[in-house]
Structure 1
Amino acid sequence: MDTRERYAAYAERIAGVSPSYAAWARSLDDGVVSVLDEVPESKRQPELLFAVARRLGADPADPGALRALVQEARPALLGALTSATVQANDPRRLAPVVPLFAALAARVGRPLGLVDAGAAAGLCSIPDRVTLDYVVGARSEVVRMHTASVEPGLHLVAEASGAVPTPAAEPIEVRARVALDPNPIDLAGPGAFDRLVEAVPPEATDRTALMREAARATLAAPPVRIRGTLPGDLDRALEALPDDVVPVVLTTGTLVYVPGADRQRFVDRVRERGVHWIALERTGILSGVAATLPDDVDPADPDAFATASLDGVALAVSDPFGVCVRWLADPNL
């Protein structure tokens, strides 16, 4: 998939959520494409380009603002894009993975130590602080999947179908958490939250409000922040956990930014260390996980954009935002 096709697919996916971002994605001309061609593959994501453009003053309400920015400030755009990283944690991604944490916690019977790899500000480092409701079936029955035992917390609601897991009998206990990221964000710092949401589409005010709620919960249980990347700094992050916890690595939309060879090295290292791994990653980018998917899962289906897995086994698929989850198997079984 070339750059234009990639942005066209993004436009189709985001149009219902953000008409302005869809218009920007459709506005690519030769000038914008030439800028993207000058940066590494990992720097060509629409969210990253749009966040950098807004930081440089482009107005999302103007469909031609990207083209104008390239014409008027190409060196600044190129420089900022080269050094920038996507920092928008979406706590909605916890909806497919909280049941995996609950199943793992019940299985091991001990407190968990969490390494959130690609954590940004750690908004996905709080599975224990999530109260999760699933809306299930044609009658839209609301099923409480997990109840946070402490406040402040985060309330998530998602649609669920398929082999919906058994609700958690006990709350998840995360005793220690580490946030590993190339540029970890300290939410207590000045302007940190504004930096975090700069990639969020301007129409998505509900998403920003949810991120603010998650930020409050994260500040109440702040992770140890480690600056580093995968796979090279995984060991350092795991070694920061205390000895009395069961280590579990979490990746949510992280591995798409890791080059293919390093991606496999990460998977291999997780197995070598014998630690648990919970992931919500783009369907198909992890060959081992993809091999465990049933034949009826189509990676091109927007509702199967991401795959939720535990220890390398696919257990659910979801839309890009984690709000519509199809369960393939109950992780408790």
Structure 2
Amino acid sequence: MTGTRERYATYAARIAPASPSYAAWARSVDDDLVALLDAVPEQQRQPELVFAVARRLGADPSDPGALRALGREARAAFVTALAAATVQANDPRRLGPVVPLFAALAAADPRPLGLVDAGAAAGLCSIPDRVTLDHRTGDGTVRVHTAVAEPSVHLTVDASGAVPEPAGTPIRIGARVALDPNPIDLAEPGAFDRLVEAVPPEATDRTALMREAARATLAVPPVRIRGTLPGDLDRALDALPDGVRPVVLTTGTLVYVPGADRQRVVDRLAERGVHWVAVERTGTLRGVAATLPDDVDPADPDAFATVSLDGVATAVCDPFGVRVRWFRRPGA
């Protein structure tokens, strides 16, 4: 089994309960599709990215054979589109694990935060202050943070371990910058439809939440900068005004950055002395992985991603950020 085939088989097993159609597409990857996918850079082979491009090119996810057909009948167009694709799901549920980190930063500094959302797509994760967050534990449900204004989104996270205390200070965002190779302006016609291309068709509740997050984002739109990591990180940080405490957020972004450049991103963040909040696939960053407890198994679906602050792991979570195991309280 090749690496690409294995990746898609693993994805199929993980996504099947939520999206039978995407699981069927992932299981349909044969030798011809493996060869097609291996013709594009490794970071462009992510299933969600591939399926979004396939849908953009007309493949119907309700047809299990549509992905193979596209590979046969429009191979050149598929490869070309994949090579240039930058689609990200931009799932606002990933704010659930990071809101406590932003709350800790807000409590530690009187200045408002200046947020750079790196890999922002439409900026749906640029609104941690607009999240009302509840933690559901064995002892009941606790309100962790209340949105500072409306429109907002409401998230509920199943939390265990060293669960953070409720925020005593509201998150104040003084400036927002969205850095992306192809940032999406939600005010443009059809922008939201483009954004949800990567969302499985069965995930209607997820699409509804994204629509709520889009309304909140439109109320406080970020400054959009077209660029990539690590080359345009400084430009994004320099776009923040004086008087804010810079914080860079990455949510599933660094898997799209070629391996050698990932460490350059980490190194530059340290050189600039800015805070870094991240939810990235467990094991993607060796330095962050070294701070995980010994009992964390990267193969565990509930440890799919690592939540970290300034390069130190604070929690692990499932791919969507709705089940979080905390082992370090932010700010403690």
**TM-score of the alignment, normalized to the shorter chain, above 0.5:** yes
Q: Quick check: 1:165–1:332 contact (8 Å CA) kept in 2?
A: no
Question: Where do 1:264-283 residues align within 5 Å?
Answer: 264-283=263-282
SS of equivalent to 1:35: helix
Q: How many residues align?
A: 331
Cα distance, 1:84 vs. partner? 1.2
Question: Where do 1:146-157 residues align within 5 Å?
Answer: 146-157=145-156
State how far apart, in whole Å, the 2-side matches of 1:19 and 1:160 are: 27
Question: Where do 1:170-209 residues align within 5 Å?
Answer: 170-209=169-208
Q: Quick check: 1:302–1:319 contact (8 Å CA) kept in 2?
A: yes
State how far apart, in whole Å, the 2-side matches of 1:189 and 1:144 are: 35
2:205 is the counterpart of 1:217 = no
State how far apart, in whole Å, the 1-side matches of 2:135 and 2:17 are: 22
Amino acid across the alignment from 2:32: G
Amino acid across the alignment from 1:29: D
Question: Where do 1:230-249 residues align within 5 Å?
Answer: 230-249=229-248
State how far apart, in whole Å, the 2-side matches of 1:283 and 1:167 are: 26
Question: Partner of 1:70 in structure 2?
Answer: 71
Amino acid across the alignment from 1:175: G
Question: Where do 1:1-333 residues align within 5 Å?
Answer: 2-137=3-138, 139=139, 141-333=140-332
Amino acid across the alignment from 2:180: D
Question: What TM-score do the two structures reach when normalised by structure 1?
Answer: 0.98
CA distances 1:268-324 after superposition (whole Å, capped 9, x unpaired)? 000000010000001111111111110000111110000111111100100000010
Provide structure 2 residue ranges, at least 5 long, that are not aligned to the other structure. Answer: none
State how far apart, in whole Å, the 1-side matches of 2:248 and 2:289 are: 19
Amino acid across the alignment from 1:114: L
Question: What TM-score do the two structures reach when normalised by structure 2?
Answer: 0.98
- Give the fraction of aligned pairs with identical amino acids, expressed as a percent: 79
State how far apart, in whole Å, the 2-side matches of 1:332 and 1:70 are: 49
State how far apart, in whole Å, the 2-side matches of 1:284 and 1:44 are: 18
State how far apart, in whole Å, the 2-side matches of 1:85 and 1:273 are: 26
Provide structure 1 residue ranges, at least 5 long, that are not aligned to the other structure. Answer: none
State how far apart, in whole Å, the 2-side matches of 1:310 and 1:108 are: 15
CA distances 1:216-269 after superposition (whole Å, capped 9, x unpaired)? 000000000000011111110000001100000000000011111110011000
Amino acid across the alignment from 2:251: T
| Structural RMSD (CA) | 0.9
State how far apart, in whole Å, the 2-side matches of 1:108 and 1:325 are: 26
Where do 4+ consecutive residues of structure 1 move more than 3 Å?
none
